[in-house]
Amino acid sequence: MDNYRISKNYAKALFLLATEMGQQAEVANDMRLVHEVFSENHQLHVIFGNPVIKQGKKVAIIEDLFSSRITKLTDTFIHFVVRKNRAVNMRGISEMYIDMDRESRGVVLVEMATSYAVDADVLTTVGEMVAHVTGKDVEVQSNVDPSIIGGFVVKFDNNMYDARIRTQLDSLRKYFSENEYESKL
């Protein structure tokens, strides 16, 4: 089974269980923490993917990282994932769970990439614009992309608005290269 399907199936199982137990919001917060920890630390991916490291060590690492910071349901689920040797998929599982939680609440994720960090007012304005277009609540994430010379890129619901200077320059270059009135000297 591929990693996408594994992550989706485990996330769906946790989502259904959390919804049934009325802990969907708490587990969503836990999964955000898990996603953050696993995204920032590549060594965890290496450790949990290594079959030589004993399961007891992996469980101890999980307990050190999360035991006092997450709910009992999430803790039990993570231990189950470790016992099934799927801890290497925790980042994907947590990401899928967060997506399922957003979808169930009718929230659209808006990703904004800029060349520099933007303030909260800009993020709020972009969020309001996307909320107006989609008619849904939004959650805005901002990240800095040093490859952007100027401008920004906004992605949401399989849509992308590209207002980078590079894109505008490329558009002008294409327009001028196709110009019928260009001198044929």
CATH code for position 53 = 1.10.520.20
Residues 111 and 56 in one domain: no
pLDDT digits (tens, 9 = 90+) for 136-147: 999 999 999 988
pLDDT digits (tens, 9 = 90+) for 105-157: 999 999 999 988 999 999 999 999 999 999 999 999 999 998 888 889 999 98
Residues 89 and 9 in one domain: yes
Question: Measured between alpha carbons, how far is 148 from 143 in angstroms, rounded to an integer?
Answer: 11
Q: How confident is the model at residue 168 (pLDDT cuts 50, 70, 90)?
A: confident
pTM for this prediction = 0.80
Rounded to 10°, the helix 24-40/72-83 angle is: 50
The conformation of residue 106, written as its DSSP 8-state character, comes to T
Residues 18 and 99 in one domain: yes
Residue 151, in any domain of the structure: yes
Tokens of 173: 């270059």
More confident residue, 185 or 159: 159
